[in-house]
Amino acid sequence: MSEQAGDPGVHAGTASPRTGSPGDGLPLGGTVRPITRWDEPVMHRECADVTSFDAGLATLVADMVATMYAAPGVGLAANQIGVALKVFVFDCPDDDEIRHRGVICNPVLELPTGADRCLDEADEGCLSLPGAYAECARPDRARVRGLDHTGAPVTYHGSGLFARCLQHETDHLFGTVFEDRLSKRARRRLRVEAEEHVDDHPLHWPAPPGT
């Protein structure tokens, strides 16, 4: 997921002093890869479950982290670098400006219901449609259960932007992009805005030319 438009407090390369340095708890040393765009088929089908928590997965996750920071963004799913596996990484602040970092494989998303459900209609952006933002209503709280890249169980509770990030990245792994949650009119505006920024994000972005 992209950093929020116009929010000076959200920078994937800047850590809150309450939670340490960028990358804490995330595998580092990966290679920056090109980010897959929305028009690619891998972005519109459900990914496969992660079944092997091996060196190959560790390399993939490190590459995802490097790519997320290079963009920069607050979250990245594996299919956003062309790999159809259910895993995403994140480095994202919540409503209390506490930054959360982690890896989730095979996520199970839980959202509030009934009187506990409150929608947040903030702007949302996606690294696979760079430069474009649209208001997208989502629950302001979320919980995701899954496994980390070593196979250990993890659970994350999110509020504000972090709740949005957990929902956005889980959506990706099930073949949904946030455009799918917008009206036709909002989709058209989003695509026009993305077209205005196309020259800023060549197909190799954020990797170096020739990648």
Enzyme catalytic residues: 169
> Given the DSSP bridges, would you call strands 153-159 and 141-147 parallel, antiparallel or unpaired?
antiparallel
CB 69 within 8 A of CB 22: yes
| Rounded-to-integer distance, Cα 49 and Cα 23, Å | 25
CB 167 within 8 A of CB 109: yes
CB 172 within 8 A of CB 36: no
Distances, alpha carbon 97 to alpha carbons 44, 66, 140, in Å: 32, 22, 15
